[in-house]
Amino acid sequence: MNTLTLESNIYNHEYDVDLNLNILTNNDILNNRLLCTFTTLEGMDELVKNLTTHYSIMYNKIFALYIKESNEYVITYNIDQGNIQSLPPSTILVHRKKHTNTLYTINALNELIKTLNGGFVDKSFPIEWNNFKNCILLTRQGELKQLKTKIHKIINI
């Protein structure tokens, strides 16, 4: 698998990246983080093969999601923190609200709160996550983007 150094391989073609490299060295924090890799349908099988060959996939599952508006796919997975020194290209760190299947970056969460709260970021501001069901919240050039997702397939390893 062609892996690059962490600083240079993060998906930034269209979306802003908020991956804080400092948190990657904290094993307690990393255990609860989810990785998301953008791909095409044609490249998905090879990507999954490379991931399962080079990384220990936690929970033995990879979720493949389809983004209709960009005709793009993302796969989400957790890897063992021992593999964090290199990640596949087009990979970002995301968080997930399980009950609504919402993936989001911290920058996107802050932009969402600002949008909903009159321009102010307040960590205690309540978010109605059902309004963001089955989507990925990202930022592009500092602007919040909501990408609707649909499960393409669940890959059991």
Domain range for 103:
4-156
Question: Containing H/E element for 29?
Answer: helix 27-30
**Cβ atoms 52, 112 nearer than 8 A:** no
* pLDDT tens track for 37-68: 999 999 999 999 999 988 888 899 999 999 99
Q: Looking at 24-33, 63-72, 87-96, 115-124, which range is the least confident one?
A: 24-33
Q: Is the dihedral of CA 10, 30, 46, 2 positive or negative?
A: positive
How many structural domains compose the chain?
Answer: 1
pTM higher than the cut 0.85: no
